């Protein structure tokens, strides 16, 4: 593998095929508006830019080392987020260009009978190929909207995307290696690494039951194309319903282990207070008396076709459109208010691509002259709904506060 640092030293710019890095990000003209989400820290407005990483459309750059690039909301109008508009999230800054032909995935750990190693072709031809449409959402999505503001990448609404993932079931790969009854967790590692030795390598684990879920995949394609480099080429983990911290990119190693995995990125990182959120999936082997790993996504929605200050025509029909999603229980209802929450009416739900997918919704009304405050509130099939006030935590996780978008009709 070639380190990202080496590549950048000799980069001459331009785009490359899927799997490569190519040149430096292309920064757009300074006077082009950066579509930041309302409510992010004011300081972000002075440093965030629109930049196009190789192989990507212009995204909102929050940081470059490591690269954290947010998807502008307009790309969520489509139920499937385009690959070249899909957000980019890394914890570590040494990102390799992985050669797909030479890539190998190691399967091991003290809770497997027969350690194994697979090439990309081995995965594609040695196991059943399956697909799932699922939302990949950074645990800190909307962190920048926290009040008071908290430390970390100050994401707005766009640290997420919805894709059709193609790959093989993780459970099929583990079962072929022979899982022992002592297996408690499955540990994952990727090809990216820290720049300095004192930074802990980014590794994660899953409870064995989630690793064996049929919707947990080793994916090698998204939306019918090979994974883009910035989204994990040549293979990544897809943990349907759970936040993106578990969706390991550039996957290199899978280990089934008989004891709880102890490492920085499991504890103290990515923790929430016990009992603070209405989640069902819990990671008991990693839980303490006071905190637990973040797991499933909470129910949420987003208006995708209107932004604050939108000018509508009084007396003419206006369509409000958006997406709703949750941790895989399925969206049962989206209610819309056009008067700041006084009255609520049901939106029309669109195409259902599966319980882990975005669920599109739409609502038509005829605005009269004046200001209208648009709000949308999603509920899932287990009865959980969005909140009207922030359920605060110091890491800025699980922000599912109902949006308020003021528009004017004239």
pLDDT tens by residue, 54-68 = 999 999 999 999 999
Determine the average pLDDT of the residues in 126-148: 97
Which residue blocks in 65-207 are alpha helix, DSSP H?
120-126, 170-177
Neighbour-count burial for 107-123, b at 16+ CB within 10 Å, e otherwise:
bbbebbeeebebbbeeb
Continuous segment of H or E residues that includes residue 319: strand 318-325
Q: Which structure tokens are listed for 371?
A: 């200001």
Q: Which pLDDT belongs to residue 33?
A: 82
Judged against a pLDDT cut of 80, whether residue 26 lies above it is answered with no
Are the C-beta atoms of residues 298 and 393 closer than 8 Å to each other? no
The model's confidence at residue 46, banded by pLDDT at 50, 70 and 90, is confident
**105-134+159-293 CATH:** 3.90.420.10
Q: Which pLDDT belongs to residue 24?
A: 58
Q: Which pLDDT belongs to residue 32?
A: 65
Determine the average pLDDT of the residues in 287-295: 97
Q: Where are the beta strands (DSSP E) in 191-241?
A: 203-207, 216-222, 225-226, 236-239
pLDDT above 70 as % of the chain: 92
Judged against a pLDDT cut of 50, whether residue 8 lies above it is answered with no
Each residue of 331-371: pLDDT tens digit? 999 999 999 999 999 999 999 999 999 999 999 999 999 99
Tokens 């899909």 found at: 86
Cα separation, 128 vs 166, whole angstroms? 11
Closest CA to 56 of 72, 40, 45: 72
Determine the average pLDDT of the residues in 232-253: 98
Fold of 300-409: Immunoglobulin-like (2.60.40)
Q: Identify the burial level of 278 via C-beta atoms within 10 angstroms of its C-beta, where 0-12 means exposed, 13-18 middle and 19 or more buried.
A: middle
Cα separation, 260 vs 286, whole angstroms? 7
The count of other CB atoms within 10 Å of the CB of residue 257 is: 19
Judged against a pLDDT cut of 50, whether residue 10 lies above it is answered with no
Cα separation, 176 vs 115, whole angstroms? 10
Judged against a pLDDT cut of 60, whether residue 29 lies above it is answered with no
Q: Where are the beta strands (DSSP E) in 72-175?
A: 88-89, 105-108, 116-118, 129-137, 160-169
Q: Which pLDDT belongs to residue 14?
A: 32
Judged against a pLDDT cut of 90, whether residue 27 lies above it is answered with no
Closest CA to 234 of 254, 223, 220: 220
Cα separation, 76 vs 159, whole angstroms? 11
Determine the average pLDDT of the residues in 172-178: 98
Could you state, in order of their start, the residue ranges of all structural domains in the chain? Answer: 105-134+159-293, 300-409
Mean pLDDT of the chain, nearest integer: 93
Q: Which pLDDT belongs to residue 4?
A: 37
- pTM attached to this predicted model: 0.93
Write phi, then psi, for 318 (nearest 5 degrees).
Answer: -125, 130
């Amino acid at each position: 593998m070639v380190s990202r640092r080496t590549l950048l030293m000799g980069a001459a710019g331009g785009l490359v095929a899927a799997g490569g890095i190519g040149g430096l990000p292309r920064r757009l003209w300074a006077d082009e508006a950066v579509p930041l989400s309302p409510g992010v820290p004011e300081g972000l407005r002075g440093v965030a830019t629109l930049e196009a990483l190789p192989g990507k459309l212009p995204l909102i750059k929050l940081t470059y080392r490591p690269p954290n690039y947010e998807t502008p909301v307009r790309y969520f109008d489509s139920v499937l987020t385009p690959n070249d508009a899909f957000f980019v999230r890394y914890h570590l800054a040494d990102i390799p260009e992985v050669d797909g032909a030479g890539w190998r995935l190691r399967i091991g750990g003290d809770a497997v009978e027969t350690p194994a190693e697979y090439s990309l072709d081995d995965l594609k031809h040695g196991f059943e190929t399956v697909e799932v449409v699922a939302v990949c959402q950074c645990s800190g999505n909307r962190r920048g909207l926290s009040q008071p503001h908290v430390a970390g990448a100050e994401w707005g609404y766009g640290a997420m995307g919805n894709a059709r993932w193609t790959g093989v079931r993780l459970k099929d790969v583990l079962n072929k290696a022979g899982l022992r009854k002592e297996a408690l967790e499955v540990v994952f590692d990727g090809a990216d690494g820290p720049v300095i030795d004192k930074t802990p390598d980014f590794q994660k684990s899953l409870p064995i039951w989630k690793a064996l879920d049929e919707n947990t995949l080793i994916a090698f394609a998204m939306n019918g194309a090979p994974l883009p480099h910035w989204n994990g080429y040549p293979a990544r983990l897809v943990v349907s319903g759970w936040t993106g911290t578990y969706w390991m990119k550039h996957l290199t190693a899978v280990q089934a282990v008989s004891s709880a995995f102890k490492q920085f990125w499991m504890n103290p990182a990515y923790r929430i207070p016990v009992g603070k959120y209405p989640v069902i999936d819990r990671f008991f082997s990693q839980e303490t008396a006071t905190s637990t790993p973040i797991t499933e996504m909470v129910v949420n929605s987003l208006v995708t076709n209107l932004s604050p200050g939108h000018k509508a025509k009084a007396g003419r029909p206006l369509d409000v459109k958006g997406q709703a999603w949750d941790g895989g229980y399925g969206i049962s209802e989206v209610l819309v208010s056009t008067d700041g929450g006084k009255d609520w009416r049901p939106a029309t739900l669109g195409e259902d691509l599966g319980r882990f997918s975005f669920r599109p919704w739409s609502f038509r009304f005829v605005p009269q002259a004046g200001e209208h405050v648009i709000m949308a509130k999603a509920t899932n099939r287990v009865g959980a709904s969005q909140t009207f006030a922030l359920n605060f935590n110091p890491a800025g996780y699980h922000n599912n506060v109902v949006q308020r978008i003021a528009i004017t009709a004239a």
